[in-house]
Each structure stands twice: as structure tokens, then as C-alpha cells.
Structure 1
Amino acid sequence: MGVSTSSLEEGTDPEGIAVVTVDFPPVNALPVDGWSALADAVRTAGRGPNVRCVVLTAEGRGFNAGVDIKELQRGGHDTLIDVNHACAEAFAAVYECPVPVVAAVQGFCLGGGIGLVGNADAIVASEDAVFGLPELDRGALGAATHLARLVPQHLLRALYYTARTVTAAELLAHGSVWRVVPRAELPSAALELAREIAAKDGRLLRLAKAALNGIDPVDVRRSYRFEQGFTFEAGLSGVAERVRAGFGTRGTEGA
């Protein structure tokens, strides 16, 4: 259980791909330490001198169910602050990774999962993958910054207000998912794209990543931190606790 990193090798020559795998049963709803470990793993992988692409993947039924709501329920405002910082660092680690990041998404990708894939450079998804922000049903706000990178503005708002999800096929139609494949083919499909990217010159790839981040119209780190201020306001006002008090055990456990 936790976050692990591996490098792929072909014979004696590295392929230049680092695979970061998240595994927090039962649904990959990450605690504070999990988000911090993920941030560290992605940053470390990206610093590898021979790494030219990072694949972010997960074990289990779904890619990511967001934060561990039960940890939030047990903790107080200090826990909320810790979650805010840890999530912000994990999302930033993906976005600021000096080499391209390919997200391989299966099953559910919810809440914090949107923060990860929205900041990735490319997404490969299984046919059963669904994406959404159940934040309003969990007494929280946030990651609209990242959902806005996946869907048009009016769809973003409808999804955010209703806490509904969209399928991988729908995101493929919007151009935000690179490829949709049967679940059994997801690892190979993600690695196929990663290998095509990693075949490029490593120095040039890093320059390309910096250039693309530099022309983004939205500062994703600042935008997300702005959203988190409203999450904390909801916590201070008591509305978040009231909504979370009705949080059940249906479906996944995160947000």
C-alpha cells in the first residue's frame, strides 16, 4: 500500500520512462501522507537524469477517489489545512514535472483525481473510466481549475453544480483524452504513448514542457489555491461539517 516508482528497461538501455503507481485500498482515497508521498514520487521521478516521460497510474478498482473523507471527519481545521497543502503540492508536482506526464485512468477519477489528470500532459483511459467532482456532495470545493482543462466552460459548471460524472468516451469527444481502450489494454496503451514521447531528445522535451506551461492562459497553482480558500471558508462556517455528516458509504469514499 502506498506510492511506488519503477523504471522500465529494455535490455541494458533505459527507455526513459518512470512509472509512479498509487495503491491505497479500497478506493484510492488518499490521506494527507498519501498526497505528500505522491507529490514526492512524481518530483523525484521527474528529476531522474535519464527520465523523459512519467506515467502516473493506480492499482485497484479506480484511479483516484479524492481525499480520505474519514480522515477529514476525524480531524479539525488543522487537518483541512494539511489536506489543502498536500493536494496542492501533488497537483503542482504533476504540472511542474519537468518531463511530460501521462495519466493512465481506470474506473473512477473523482475529486482530487481530477486535480491530477487535469494537470497531466496526456490522458489514456479505460472504457469504464468516469470523471467528476463530487465536492458539493462532500462539503468541499476545489479542482474546478483542473476540470476546466478537460471540458468546456458550461459543461464544467453543470458538472460542478450537480456533482455528476462524464465518461472517458465523452472526454475523448472533447479532445481531452488521448485514447480510450478496454481496461485490460490500459497499461500497454499508456506505455505506448509514453514510449513515443520518450523517444524524443530529453533536453528538447524538457524545454517543450517548460514552454507549454509558460503559455498556459491560467496559472493553475494560483487558481487552485484561490478555490481552496472557499473550501476553508466552508469549513470555518460549519457548512462543510454539516454536509459531511450526511456522507454515506455508497460508492467511493473520497471527494
Structure 2
Amino acid sequence: MGVSTSSPDKGVALVTVDFPPVNALPVRGWHELADAVRAAGRDPEIRCVVLAAEGRGFNAGVDIKEMQREHDGTGGHAALIGANHGCADAFAAVYECEVPVVAAVQGFCLGGGIGLVGNADAIVASEDATFGLPELDRGALGAATHLARLVPQHLMRALYYTSRTATAAELQAHGSVWRVVPRDGLHAAALELAREIARKDPYLIRLAKAAINGIDPVDVRRSYRFEQGFTFEANLSGVADRVRDTFGKDSSGTERQA
């Protein structure tokens, strides 16, 4: 369990996230992921990073239960601040990785998962992959910055306000997913793209990554940080706790079964 790095092909690093049961990352998990991606990008032998996950889904966002446990015990916001810093660290690590990052997405990609894939250079997804920001249902805000990199502006807003998800096929139609493949072929398809990238000159591919980031019309660090301020306001006002307390329960207040 945790974050691991392997090198399945020459010039390719595979960073794999595994936090059962749903890859909802605790604070330490986000920082571990950031460290792994940065380390892979700094390795002079690596020319492409594949970001993947084990289990049912790619990423379910932050570990809300971790925040609830700490808040219930202390009344403070250390876990919330930690999660915000951890997400910002991981998102930035993907965006600023010195070599291209290919995200291999299966199942659900929610919340913080959108921050990761929205900052990746390319996305390969399984046929069952779904992408969305259920933040408003969880007493939070954020990652609209990254969802806006995946879908057009008005669709982004509708998805954000409703907490609905989009399929991998829908994102491919909008041009943000490179390939949609059967689930059992996901890693092979992601590695195929990574190998093609890794065949480029190692110095030139790093220049290309820096150049493309340099012409990006949106400063993703600043944009996401602006969004985070509203998450803090939601928590200070008490509305976030009120919404989070209903998360995982049905309309009668009974705990839902996973």
C-alpha cells in the first residue's frame, strides 16, 4: 500500500498509487505521490512518466474520513490544511515534472484525481473510466482549474455545479483523452504512448515540456490556490461540516454501504 515506482521500459518510469479501498489519499499519500513524480522526472535516464493506480478506480480524491476524525477530535483544521497542501504539492509535481506525464485512468477519477489528470500531459483511459468533481457534495471546492483543461468552459461549469461525471468516451470526443481502451489493456496502451515519447532525445523532450508549460495561458498553481481560499471560507463558515456530515448517508440519515 502507498506509492511505488518501477521502470518497465527503457526511459519510462511507472508511478503507481495504491491506497485501498478506493484510492482516497491521506495527507501523507499526496506528498508521497508528489515526491515520487518529482524523483522520476529528475532521473536523467527517464524521458516519460506513467501515473497509474491499483484497484477499482484511479483516484477518489482526499480521505474525507481523515479530516472528519481529526476535526471531531480537536475542532481544528490541521487535516484540511494538510490535504490542501498535499493536493497542491501533487498537482504541481505532475505539471512541473521535467518530462511528460501520461495518466492511465481506470474506473472513477474524482476530486483530487481531476487535479492529477488535468495537469498531466496525456491521458489514456479505460472504457469504464469516469471523471468528475463531487466537491459541492462533500463540502469543498477546488480543481475547476484542472477540469477546465479537460472539457469546454460551459460543460465544466455544469459538471461542477451538478457533481455529475463525464465518461472517458465523452472526454475523448472533446480531445482531452488520447485513447480509450478495454480495462485489461490500459497499462499496455499507456506504456505504448510512453515508449513513443521516450524515444525522443532526452534533452530535447525536457526542453519541450518546459516550453509547452511556458506558453500555457493559465497559471495552474495560482488558479488552484485561488480556489482553495473558498474551501477555507466554506470550512470557517461551518457550511463544509454541515455538508460533509451528510456525505455517505442516504436521505434518512442512514449510513450508505460502499
Give TM class, smaller chain. Answer: over 0.9
Give the Cα separation in 1 of the matches to 2:203 and 2:256.
47
Match of 1:45 among 40, 47, 54: 40
Deviations 1:39-88 (A, max 9, x none): 00000011101100000000000000000010111123111111110100
Query: Structure 1 residue runs of 4+, over 4 Å off?
Result: 249-252
**Which residue of 1 is the match for residue 251 of structure 2?**
none
**Which residue of 2 is the match for residue 61 of structure 1?**
56
Give the Cα separation in 2 of the matches to 1:8 and 1:78.
38
Secondary structure at 1:66 match in 2: coil
5 Å matches for 1:24-35?
24-35=19-30
**Which residue of 1 is the match for residue 140 of structure 2?**
140
**Which residue of 1 is the match for residue 69 of structure 2?**
74
Deviations 1:191-223 (A, max 9, x none): 000000000001000000000000000000000
Matched, 1:209 2:209: yes
Identity of aligned residues (%): 83
Give the Cα separation in 2 of the matches to 1:8 and 1:67.
28
Judged with a 3 Å threshold, the aligned counterparts in structure 2 of structure 1 residues 151 and 251 are, in CA distance, closer, same or farther, namely farther
Deviations 1:129-181 (A, max 9, x none): 00000000000000000000000000000000000000000000000000000
CA offset at residue 8 of structure 1?
2.1
5 Å matches for 1:1-255?
1-9=1-9, 15-75=10-70, 76-248=76-248, 250=256
Provide structure 2 residue ranges, at least 5 long, that are not aligned to the other structure: 71-75, 249-254
**Which residue of 1 is the match for residue 73 of structure 2?**
none
Cα RMSD, aligned residues only: 1.0
CA offset at residue 110 of structure 1?
0.1
Judged with a 3 Å threshold, the aligned counterparts in structure 2 of structure 1 residues 251 and 217 are, in CA distance, closer, same or farther, namely farther
Structure 1 length-normalised TM: 0.95
Give the Cα separation in 2 of the matches to 1:23 and 1:36.
14
Give the Cα separation in 2 of the matches to 1:206 and 1:48.
12
Provide structure 1 residue ranges, at least 5 long, that are not aligned to the other structure: 10-14
Secondary structure at 2:204 match in 1: helix
Number of residue pairs matched by the alignment: 247
Deviations 1:80-125 (A, max 9, x none): 1111101000000000000000000000000000000000000000
More RCO (CA 8 Å, sep 6+) = 1
